[in-house]
Chains A and B, each alone.
Chain A
Amino acid sequence: MRGRQNEKIPGAPDIRAEADPERNLGDLREALRIFGDSVHQAAERPDFFWRRQHNTIMARLNHPASKIHSRPALLWVPSFLVLMLCLFFFVQNGKAPTPDLAAGSDEILLINVERALGRDFPEALDPAGLMYDKKTDLVRTK
């Protein structure tokens, strides 16, 4: 019976370890010290930071209604939203109306033919036409 006192039931938590969790830290103690140091180091800030924080807190204590320190990181959020909205409307409005190809293509072709027939020169010769007109005017003035 006495011998069974030291037997551990499989799966049962070690009550003695829980009673004194740091009893068998061993090498882990140094690792935990290093970790603690690193957290302290990460939280270190320059003196001006602490002065500014102290001043901000005291200002907010004295004037509770005022929001002294707004988050600079969030300042761009409203601008971003406005920009996104503008972009959305721009894209919506800027979409070219999809032509009804079946009905519109004949009409466009007819217009183009009519324009071509009404011209003195083919469209590709427009620059030469301009030069011809200018030369003719010069000859007339002479």
Chain B
Amino acid sequence: MNRTKVVDAEMETGPIEPDDFDGIVLDHQKQVYRTLLFLVRDRDEAEILTQECFLRAFKMRSSFRGGASLATWLIRIAINLAYDHNKSRRWAFWRRLTRTERIDTIPLLDIRRSPEQVLINSELVDAIQSAVNQLSRQQKTVFLLRFVEDMPLEAIAETMDLNLGTVKSHLHRAIEAVRKACSTRTP
């Protein structure tokens, strides 16, 4: 699978102009959606929050620090939105009731692999996913940014507004949980 690296090497400079947003949405909507899908695990909600993310970014464009990567800035907004969303219990009942396409297990289809291999991989993915579900909010986010979005630890620290040591500590705990889940899965 062709996975694009999230954090581009080039660092954005200068303020964002309203006219820039057309290109920004085109360039980053997939990554923002993927991040939100991982954190809220519901396609409808991820779609709505993706729109909210760009709206919020537009409103807050003056606060964008030119030294940071645009992707980092957008992902930070997306993560905060997902946290707020998951925190609000007000609509939890309706969310459960109206959930149309909740992602409980991530499909893993790969025509290049044998059915046996696909099955093994699916079980592996399920095991990792259930371990990830047990992680704390920050551990889960660090895990996502590192192993799904391929972000360097420094960028993760910047995105989550944490120091590098804390990011490493969260990652270590996440890896240990996943390792344990994978080892118990293996006969």
User: A69: which B residues are within 8 A, CB to CB?
Assistant: 47-48, 51
For residue A101, CB closer than 8 A to chain B, the reply is: no
Does chain B have a CB within 8 A of A105?
A: no
**Bound CA span A74–B98, Å:** 7
- Assess whether B38 is interfacial by the CB under 8 Å rule: yes
Interface magnitude class on chain A: 35 or more
Q: Which of B94, B107, B124, B169 contacts A35 (CB 8 A)?
A: B124
Interface of A is mostly: helix
A45 cross-chain contacts in B, Cβ below 8 A: 33
Size of interface on B: residues with Cβ below 8 Å to A: 48
How many Å lie between the Cα of A18 and that of B171 in the bound state? 8
Closest residue of A by beta carbon distance from B169: A18
Does A38 contact B125, Cβ atoms closer than 8 Å? Answer: yes
Main secondary structure of the interface of B (DSSP, over half): helix
Contact between A38 and B29, CB atoms less than 8 A apart: no
Q: Which residues of A from 55 to 78 have beta carbons under 8 Å from B?
A: 56-58, 60-61, 64, 69, 71, 73-74, 76-77
Contact pattern, A 4-39, Cβ under 8 Å of B = 1, otherwise 0: 000000000000011111100100100111111111
Known contacts A25-B175, A71-B44: A34-B25 contact under CB 8 Å? no
Bound state CA distance, A76 and B97, in angstroms?
11
Residues of B within 8 A of A28 (CB): 175, 178-179, 182
CB of B58 to closest CB in A, whole Å: 5
Q: Is the CB of A60 within 8 A of B124?
A: no
State the CA gap A77–B44 with chains docked (Å). Answer: 16
CA distance A117 to B106 in the complex (A): 79
B residues in contact with A54, CB < 8 Å = 25-26, 29
B69 lies within 8 A of chain A by Cβ: no
B169 contacts across to A, CB distance below 8 A: 18
Give B residues with C-beta under 8 Å from A.
1, 3, 18, 21-22, 25-26, 29-30, 33-34, 37-38, 44, 47-48, 50-51, 54-55, 58, 94, 98-100, 103, 106-109, 121, 124-125, 128-129, 144, 147-148, 150, 165, 168-169, 171-172, 175, 178-179, 182
